[in-house]
Structure 1
Amino acid sequence: MSLLVVGLSHRSAPLELLERVALDGRRSRELAAGVVGLDDVSESLVLTTCNRTEVYAEALSFHGAVAQVGDSLAKATGVDLQDLTPHLYVHYEERAVDHLFSLACGMESMALGESEILGQLRDALRAGQEDAHLGTVLNPLFQQALRVGKRAHTDTGLDRVARSLVGAGLTRAAAVLGSLDGADALVVGAGAMSGLAAASLSRAGVGTLGILNRTRERAERLAEAHQGQVHDWSQLERGLATADLVLTCTGATDHVVTRDLLPDDRTERPLVIIDLAMPRDVAPEAAEVPGVTVWGLADLNGDGADGTATAEAGGGPDETEQVLAVVRELVAGEVAAYLATRRSARVGPTLAMLRSRAAAVADGELERLDQRLPDLSDAQRAEVQQSVRRILDKLLHTPTVRAKQLAAHDADGSSVALLRELFDLDARETAAVTTPPQVSGLP
């Protein structure tokens, strides 16, 4: 079995296609359930963010799983597979682990180094655990990815040079509005990204901070945390008329901010709208209103050659590259350690079967000894049994250690196959000697 990732992101697909394949929480869980029920998949997890949709799977076969996952993704999103295929990427085994760990560090995001992805990974992991779609591969893998992401932010200078989507938007807004100090701001939505927006606006010193959400209770919690004011959803038009800056990120599938909700002219008091949602919350024609500036995810994507937002808030290019080199080194080390651990674990069932086979041989010989020497005392018989066990342990100790060492660096499993061949161990028998899945809490 092998780890497989099939997906598309802002690096492989245009935003209009990403909007079409965006899935809400319910549909993501339905897709994961469908994938885990496929013939060539044993575990699955679906990750959907504002700029990516990815399916992670533990595949029983590579080609079969790729075809089945791609077909499931097309059916779940309603996008024809022929339209999806040119934009899909497939990562396998080591490359899949490297992709996930880099993703957790914010290295694959539109805004380089952003930390919002950790919350999105945590939510996807929790959903997979609750729905029992994870087992001994994806569950520990994603928990490790979260730890790697946290290390990148605590052990490197990533936070010093990284820019989030919200931060990039506020920088642009300040260029239009002047200082944000004293500005009237409105946050539409109350999810994780909206929480980050509210916190950033509060730190920027805005004059008023309004929170508006369809579910008032969630808006109240967000407002309380950041000294904001709660508005009813029916007050959206009024809020748009009085705000200087609007950040919107809802889970709506249709446009929330439309042309008819805006005044005819905002020239005298400019309005900046930052649309962080996917699909977009703001209708395209809203930007046609004089004095209204609208930026979406594509606009917040920086001018970097690799398609990631630049790190304007940190040091210069040299410092940024130095920090990124440290993060890449961290990821490479974590990937190597994870793969070594996983490969070593693969030899476990074979070693367990080898020890079981050796113990069975010893038991048979001890039984024959009992029949040939029935007059042995209990103490003598126990001493013989203990001696035989010690001999077995000493004989098997070095091969066990060497087998684990070889397996840690064995990408194709050839050393495990050789061990089974040498001792005539049936692969089906050894596969049955496994440990039940352990699903632990989130880190």
Structure 2
Amino acid sequence: MSEVLGIGVSHKTAPVAVRERLALTPGKVEAFLRDTLGVADVQEAVAISTCNRTEVYVVASDPVEAETRVLGMLARKAGIRPTELAGSIYALRNCDAARHLYRVTSGLESMIVGEAEVQGQVKRAYDDALAAQSTGPLTNHLFRAALATGKRVRSETRLGERRLSVSSIAAALAAEQLSGLERREVLLVGAGETSELAARALADHGVEAIFVANRRRDRAISLAQRFGGQATSFDALPQELERADAVICTTSSPHPILEAEEVAAVMDARDGRALLIIDLAVPRDVASDVRHVPGVALYNVDDLQSVVRRNRSVRQVEAQHAEGIVEEEIQRFAEWLGSLEVLPTVGALRAQGQAIAEQIVRENAGRWESASEKDLERIEALAQAVVNRILHEPTLRMKGMSDDRVHLRMQVVRDLFGLEDVPEGIEAEQPLAEVRQLRRRDAPPA
């Protein structure tokens, strides 16, 4: 039977230095999914990559082999040995994998509990997988149910009421470090969704001027116009850095945009004015050694934790309500997942019993020399009827299961009876055979 497997790292298990090496930039997701489908009988795959996590959800008939191979792919991408990732990687199966994805989509696994962006990020990951044609029945159901769970959490709780996000926390940090943002100039490097959220948060803090730098100038102009700012080019970054009070970086560049040498040159031209740089990108936009340049205060996404902790207590009650919703939805997923396995398991068990009965009849064929063809038919019918009578009650009980432990119970049945290769889609709807009284050869028809 195929199983759902979730493999990944997050801000809870790995620092940004590890996460950025595993990050899947938009242009590389499709190729990664295509490569994943080619290993260890992986039939379906979806990958999520954000500043806080990289996770791969696959469907495979051999989850142990799939886990090993996918871990190897991630390790090769990061350029490190799989054993070095062992302490950072988590691998979850079936309902545990689904529960984790539901929690991610609901914002319960985010650095900022209830953050605004994560549901959109999960939807884009699913859309990318649909475009790459790497989804299937299990992942389609899983991700649609996860997105529906996220919507329930947002509509039935106040978890996302304040619309906190990494970007809004970055703006709050900038306001804290600069003693307010009024009369301050902030440079945004990047013009995507994270930059838009940052611009909105900066405007709410009363920032005096926002400058937007992006490789695509049209996007920079569009974002700047919405918030009364100005667009600039990447070529003008040194001049903009000289005048800015703070810089927030959010691009999806695979390589650093700001290196220590050029930032040092900028600081020489600032006449001793300090510069605050907040790097929200993963992979990071700012080289780590920039923090050693005199006058620079550099923060990355992991450094926002102290600000986050001050907001966490406000959301604890709503988070508990959200977790209850997640568990309700997981119950439904578990029942659905278990229902996929009941009929194939019942069918495989009946097929095994019938095969054993036929084998025993064949092995003893020589013992009934005087039996007629009709007698042999009765013997075969009797053997099959015994099998069906024995399996009658277990079949009814298995087909009547509907709780969240169906998957585990079916696994126990398969283990007990050695049903290692259960074909998917086996039907077990034919009526159970009945034991009928055998007629003597000379008895009149009933």
By the TM > 0.5 criterion, same fold? yes
Correspondence 1:341 to 2:336? yes
Whole-angstrom distance in 2 between the partners of 1:247 and 1:216: 17
What residue in structure 2 maps to residue 414 of structure 1?
410
Whole-angstrom distance in 2 between the partners of 1:223 and 1:146: 31
What residue in structure 2 maps to residue 386 of structure 1?
none
What residue in structure 1 maps to residue 305 of structure 2?
301
How much does 1:126 deviate? 0.9
Q: 2:277 aligns with which of 273, 289, 293?
A: 273
Task: Decide whether aligned partners of structure 1 residues 302 and 95 sit closer, same or farther in structure 2, where only a CA change above 3 A counts.
Answer: farther
Letter in 1 for 2:94: E
Whole-angstrom distance in 1 between the partners of 2:69 and 2:80: 15
**Structure 2 alignment gaps of length 5 or more:** 349-394, 429-446
How much does 1:300 deviate? 0.4
Whole-angstrom distance in 2 between the partners of 1:333 and 1:406: 14
Q: Deviations over 1:161-215 (max 9, x none)?
A: 6742222222221122122123212110112211211222222222111111011
Task: Decide whether aligned partners of structure 1 residues 210 and 64 sit closer, same or farther in structure 2, where only a CA change above 3 A counts.
Answer: same
How much does 1:266 deviate? 4.9
Identity %: 31
Contact 2:246 2:275 in 1 (8 A): yes
Whole-angstrom distance in 2 between the partners of 1:287 and 1:191: 25
Task: Decide whether aligned partners of structure 1 residues 351 and 170 sit closer, same or farther in structure 2, where only a CA change above 3 A counts.
Answer: same
- The 10-residue stretch of structure 1 (190-199 or 120-129) with the greater mean CA deviation from structure 2: 190-199
- The 10-residue stretch of structure 1 (131-140 or 23-32) with the greater mean CA deviation from structure 2: 23-32
Q: Note the 1:16-415 alignment, pairs <5 A.
A: 16-160=17-161, 163-259=164-260, 260-261=262-263, 262-264=266-268, 266=270, 269-302=273-306, 309-312=308-311, 317=313, 319-347=314-342, 403=399, 405-406=401-402, 409-412=405-408, 414=410
Whole-angstrom distance in 2 between the partners of 1:256 and 1:345: 49
Q: Deviations over 1:209-241 (max 9, x none)?
A: 111101112222322333321111111111111
Letter in 2 for 1:293: A
Structure possessing the higher radius of gyration over alpha carbons = 2
Whole-angstrom distance in 2 between the partners of 1:348 and 1:197: 52
Letter in 2 for 1:77: A
How much does 1:83 deviate? 1.6
Give the TM-score taking structure 2 as reference length: 0.76
Q: Deviations over 1:39-97 (max 9, x none)?
A: 33111111111122111111212211111211222233332212222221111111111
Whole-angstrom distance in 2 between the partners of 1:63 and 1:351: 24
Contact 1:339 1:408 in 2 (8 A): yes
Q: Deviations over 1:75-132 (max 9, x none)?
A: 3333221222222111111111110011111221222221211222111111100111
Whole-angstrom distance in 2 between the partners of 1:182 and 1:154: 37
Whole-angstrom distance in 2 between the partners of 1:62 and 1:429: 16
Aligned residues: 375
Whole-angstrom distance in 1 between the partners of 2:224 and 2:427: 54
3-state SS in 1 of match to 2:278 = strand
Contact 1:43 1:133 in 2 (8 A): yes
What residue in structure 2 maps to residue 388 of structure 1?
none
Whole-angstrom distance in 2 between the partners of 1:127 and 1:148: 20
Contact 1:187 1:210 in 2 (8 A): yes
Contact 1:199 1:226 in 2 (8 A): yes
Contact 1:47 1:55 in 2 (8 A): yes
3-state SS in 2 of match to 1:23 = coil
Whole-angstrom distance in 1 between the partners of 2:310 and 2:318: 11
Contact 2:187 2:244 in 1 (8 A): yes
Whole-angstrom distance in 1 between the partners of 2:71 and 2:398: 40
3-state SS in 1 of match to 2:72 = helix
3-state SS in 1 of match to 2:284 = coil
Contact 1:10 1:52 in 2 (8 A): yes
Letter in 1 for 2:181: L
Letter in 1 for 2:165: S
3-state SS in 2 of match to 1:279 = coil
How much does 1:432 deviate? 8.1
Whole-angstrom distance in 2 between the partners of 1:124 and 1:203: 30
Letter in 2 for 1:141: L
Letter in 2 for 1:412: L
Whole-angstrom distance in 2 between the partners of 1:109 and 1:227: 31
Task: Decide whether aligned partners of structure 1 residues 217 and 58 sit closer, same or farther in structure 2, where only a CA change above 3 A counts.
Answer: same
Letter in 1 for 2:219: R
Whole-angstrom distance in 2 between the partners of 1:221 and 1:175: 28
How much does 1:16 deviate? 1.6
- The 10-residue stretch of structure 1 (338-347 or 275-284) with the greater mean CA deviation from structure 2: 338-347
Task: Decide whether aligned partners of structure 1 residues 275 and 59 sit closer, same or farther in structure 2, where only a CA change above 3 A counts.
Answer: same
Give the TM-score taking structure 1 as reference length: 0.76
- The 10-residue stretch of structure 1 (114-123 or 326-335) with the greater mean CA deviation from structure 2: 114-123
Whole-angstrom distance in 2 between the partners of 1:109 and 1:267: 40
3-state SS in 2 of match to 1:412 = helix
